[in-house]
Amino acid sequence: MAAYLLRRLMVSALILLGVSFITFFLLYVLPADPVRQIAGRSATAETVENIRRELGLDRPFIVQYGHYLAGLVQGDLGRSYLQKTQVAELIASRLPATLLLMLGAISAELLIGLTFGIVAALKRGTILDQTLMMTSFVTVSAPQFVVSLLLLYVFAVKLGWFPIGGYGTPAHLVLPALTLGILGSGWYSRMMRSSMIDVLRADFIRTARAKGLTRARVVLGHALPNAILPVIAMIGIDIGIFMGGIVVVESVFGWPGIGQLAWQAIQRVDIPIIMGVTLVSAVAIVLGNLLADLVAPFIDPRIKLK
């Protein structure tokens, strides 16, 4: 176990190194000049050159990357070109909001997805089952911005139950978390349904029924704890999907997390921030996948970590 974990962490470090190299390289070769953004339109050629030298952007690619990497291993993500603050500080100040949103989103996903999945499995083959599964298809086919705007229109503009955007109170969290929760619930409900159907066929369920236990006890006490395991492994993978998607939801709802930070940085070609957010997201994805793999042997004892 310890050896496995050590090896996986080393592989993860290599993957992150690769992500940093590719992102740095793409931002280097692409036709966007951060110096022009900083200097402004009216700057003279001389000013532009001075800024370029100051930021070290006149040096060859490999030197720039080496410099970045040297900082990275010491936890230094560089300074924002435009805000002049440490990128690590900027990300640290935005991360709590994103983590809060993630927690809200995953809770909503599980609540909706598990309920739908369990009900569909118990009512297998009925109209209710088909409706719930059709709903799960619609949710995986909807783009985030459409669902965001729809919830905003209904619950904030028309009904006025929730604020239209911003951050601070629990009410602000509801709509963005619900958007992500609805969209992510489709996979969970499908998975929960098929897992539950498999478990309900098992002998120990028949035994439990034969003992005369109530239906509620059989489902919630015996079937659910077994059926839920594959779903738990999925949360790990879901973290990765979540990190990819926060840009849209955070900008629609004005949620001050790292997705919004990234979107602003992309528009201003603020390379150190883009690098930082990409790396933080990649760390989340890698850890999420590791979590999913670590949970796997508990779900299916035939799986051995190797």
User: With contact defined as beta carbons under 8 Å apart, do 101 and 109 qualify?
Assistant: no
- Answer for which of 6, 13, 103, 157 binds other proteins (CB under 8 A) is 157
What single-letter DSSP state applies at residue 280? H
- Answer for which of 144, 179, 185, 260 binds other proteins (CB under 8 A) is 144
Stretch that binds other proteins, among 83-91, 104-112, 170-178, 282-290 (CB under 8 A): 282-290
Q: Is 202 in the site for other proteins (CB under 8 A)?
A: no
* Count of C-beta atoms within a 10 Å radius of residue 46: 8
Q: Is 199 in the site for other proteins (CB under 8 A)?
A: no
Q: Please classify residue 77 by burial: count the beta carbons closer than 10 Å to its beta carbon, then call 0-12 exposed, 13-18 middle and 19+ buried.
A: buried
User: With contact defined as beta carbons under 8 Å apart, do 95 and 170 qualify?
Assistant: no
- Answer for which of 118, 286, 292, 296 binds other proteins (CB under 8 A) is 286
Considering only residues 61 through 120, tell me which ones interact with other proteins, judged by CB under 8 A.
Answer: none
User: Is 23 or 50 the residue whose CB approaches other proteins more closely?
Assistant: 23
**Alpha helices for the chain (secondary structure H):** 2-29, 34-39, 45-55, 61-73, 87-122, 127-140, 144-151, 170-200, 203-210, 215-216, 224-227, 229-253, 258-267, 271-299
Stretch that binds other proteins, among 50-58, 209-217, 224-232, 264-272 (CB under 8 A): 264-272
Cα–Cα distance measured from residue 57 to residue 79, given in angstroms and rounded to the nearest whole number: 13
* Count of C-beta atoms within a 10 Å radius of residue 298: 11
- Answer for which of 5, 6, 10, 26 binds other proteins (CB under 8 A) is 26
Cα 130 from chain centroid? 29
- Answer for which of 243, 261, 273, 296 binds other proteins (CB under 8 A) is 243
Q: Is 32 in the site for other proteins (CB under 8 A)?
A: yes
Residues at the contact surface with other proteins, assessed by CB under 8 A: 15-16, 18-19, 22-23, 26-27, 30-32, 133-134, 137-138, 140-146, 149-150, 153, 157, 193-194, 197, 240, 243-245, 247-248, 251, 262-263, 266-267, 269, 274, 277-278, 281-282, 285-286, 289
